[in-house]
């Protein structure tokens, strides 16, 4: 019995590595490249990020025996925009990539309702069970959160002042950041925000979530008592 928690811990650790590993590699590569070259760090970081995302996808396939849908979408967008970034030598495509990814996730959730199903439940319904109302609440919250992340990225990259971003792209004259700040914020800023949002949704998850089959097992265990 002591092996089960250990396996769960290893599984969660692997999933965390797949989720944040490529972003960490992107940040580290950029900061190292920025120290040894005057220009081009964003292109090196983008290329390594593409490779890291591909490795994460293969690793997830080996460990989970399936293609995680969100990681597949991320891989496709990262590869497409990363290739354009390097080919055209234009960092704008790297800047807008997080916006596109988050909007795709958001509208995939919202559009799924129009087709009569809940995409968020389809992704995580195999992990735990909840009433339909709880699934709907979580799905809408995550859709809005992804849009918030997209808006935040748009706000940040448009105010990078040491790159190719034009003055006309800026929303506020009083705000400015460097490309290095944008890269590091993607890891040190976005993931803490993500973590806080997950914590904010724990109450509803803990209130309604049960492991698949748990309810049926409980009902089954009550039958002998009723027979007595």
Residues of the chain short of pLDDT 50, as ranges, are: 1-13, 216-228
HSE-CB for 35 with a 13 A CA cutoff: 5
Largest Cα–Cα separation, the chain: 80
Give the Cα separation of 129 and 207 in Å (integer): 11
DSSP per residue, 85-114:
HHHHT-THHHHHHHHHHHHHHHHHHHHHHH
8 A C-beta contact, residue 153 and residue 102? yes
- State how far the alpha carbon of 46 is from the alpha carbons of 94, 135, 196, in Å: 7, 35, 27
Angle between the 41-64 and 179-188 helix axes, to the nearest 10 degrees? 20
- In sequence order, the 6+-apart residues with CB closer than 8 A to the CB of 87 are none
- pLDDT, residue 3, reads 45
CA 138 to the chain's CA centroid = 15
8 A C-beta contact, residue 191 and residue 20? yes
- pLDDT, residue 223, reads 39
- pLDDT, residue 51, reads 95
- pLDDT, residue 214, reads 55
pTM for the model? 0.84
Residue 7 corresponds to which tokens in the numbers above? 């396996």
Which stretches within 65-201 are classed as H helix? 69-88, 92-114, 119-124, 132-157, 179-188, 190-200
- pLDDT, residue 8, reads 40
Give the Cα separation of 73 and 51 in Å (integer): 15
């Amino acid at each position: 019995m002591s092996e089960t928690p250990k396996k769960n811990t290893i599984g969660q650790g692997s999933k965390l590595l797949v989720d944040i590993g490529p972003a960490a590699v992107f940040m580290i590569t950029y900061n190292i490249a920025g120290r040894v070259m005057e220009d081009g760090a964003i292109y090196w970081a983008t290329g390594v990020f593409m490779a890291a995302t591909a490795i994460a996808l293969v690793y997830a396939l080996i460990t989970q025996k399936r293609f995680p849908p969100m990681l597949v979408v991320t891989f496709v967008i990262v590869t497409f925009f990363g290739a354009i970034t390097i080919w055209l030598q234009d960092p704008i495509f790297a800047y807008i990539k997080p916006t596109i990814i988050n909007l795709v996730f958001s509208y995939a959730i919202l559009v799924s309702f129009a087709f009569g199903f809940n995409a968020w439940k389809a992704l995580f319904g195999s992990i735990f069970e909840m009433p339909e109302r709880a699934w709907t609440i979580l799905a809408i919250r995550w859709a809005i959160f992804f849009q918030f992340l997209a808006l935040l990225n748009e706000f940040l990259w448009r105010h990078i002042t040491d790159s190719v971003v034009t003055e006309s792209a800026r929303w506020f004259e009083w705000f400015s950041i460097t490309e290095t700040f944008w890269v590091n914020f993607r890891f040190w800023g976005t993931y803490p925000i993500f973590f806080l949002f997950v914590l904010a949704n724990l109450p509803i998850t803990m209130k309604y979530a049960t492991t698949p089959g748990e309810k049926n097992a409980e009902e089954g265990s009550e039958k002998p008592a009723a027979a007595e």
